[in-house]
Amino acid sequence: MSVWGDLVGLLRGEPQADRVVPRSGQAAKLTLAVSGAMAFLAVFALALSLASGRLADRWSAALAQSSTIRLSAPEAEIEAQTWAVLTVLEQTPGVDSARALSDDEQRALLEPWFGPDLPVADLPVPRLIEVIETPEGYDSAGLRQRLAAEAPGAVLDDHTRWRRPLVAAADRLRLLGWVSLGLILASTAAMITLAAQAALASNEQVIRVMRLVGARDAYIARAFVRRFTRRALTGALAGAALGTIAIALLPRAADEGAFLTGLGFQGVAWLWPLTIPALAAFTAFWATRIAAFRTLRGLR
């Protein structure tokens, strides 16, 4: 019997044939429990992966096209050097716009650490100049050389130093999420294979009787495959539903909140957990089919 035939049989169901394999047994409970637990974990792995991806994209986009020039100079020279820096930036290819942050903006940046009443004007706080790049970007080495000549107190911080490891970490986390999903699927396949083999071994008498009365191996295998695939699907549906509910119930927070609060799905990504039961059923179908035919070949 072809795989196609098995799939059609799976969808159509064969009530008479399904009764041939006994319903009870540890293997049945194990399949249900493993599928449910693995689907629950898979939802978290999926959420982690998607959240990491969003984080990496956000950090990458937010930091990639902006940089800061920090200007420290005696009070008498600060305006002149600011002017010099802005002039240099105006003439630099790859710089879209540049502006010096106002005292209020600098105070807002320092407020989380020093409170709202910080006398910025009385403190030796460096002047910050925000630089927005064009998509092509600028030559940071050349800009540094020109700044050193025109405004010696200016230091260019293009965020590369700490952007790259953050984005790399987020990308790695995303990869780990997908690897975890793969491992969960592989573990599910392994567990269901073992459960199917145990079920086939414990039903040797059933197989013997079925063969005696003229059952083809494909028929016997199909009876087991249908049973295990449906159990895996049922367990995974329950596990995925619980996992999705758990994700939905995570506390919400603003964008600047901790990473974990952004672990949920967003928009159409809420549909992703639906793929987990389908994947579990697909995995169970193949794992049981391979295990069944291998076991049946071993039984004369």
Partner 1 sequence: MQDAAFGYGAEPILSALSLRLAPGSFHFLTGPSGAGKTTFLKLCYAELVATAGSVTIFGEDAATLDRDRIALTRQRIGVVHQDCEFLDHLPIRENIALPLTVAGRDVQGNEANLDELIAWVGLSARAHARPPELSGGERQRAALARAIIMDPDLILADEPTGNVDWEMSLRLLQLLAELNKMGKTVLIATHDMALIRAAKAQVQARVLRLAGGHISAAGADL
Closest to partner 1 by CB, 279 vs 296, is 296
Q: Are 193 and 288 in contact (CB under 8 A)?
A: yes
Measured from the CB atom, the residue of 163 and 211 that comes closer to partner 1 is: 211
Whole-angstrom CA distances from 201 to 16, 22, 41, 127, 208 are 22, 13, 30, 77, 11
CB nearer to partner 1: give 154 or 210: 210
Rounded to a whole number of angstroms, the minimum distance from the CB of residue 205 to partner 1 is: 6
CB of 16 to partner 1, least distance (A): 5
Q: How far is the CB of 192 from partner 1 (least distance, A)?
A: 22
CB closer to partner 1 out of 221 and 241: 221
Q: Residue 16 or 91: which CB sits closer to partner 1?
A: 16
Q: Which is nearer to partner 1, 108 or 215 (CB)?
A: 215
CB of 294 to partner 1, least distance (A): 13
Binding stretches for partner 1 (CB under 8 A):
16-17, 19-20, 22-24, 205-206, 208-219, 296, 300
Q: Considering the complex, what minimum distance in angstroms separates the CB of residue 285 from partner 1?
A: 21
Report, in Å, the least distance between residue 195 CB and partner 1.
19
**Dist CA 296 CA 285 (whole Å):** 16
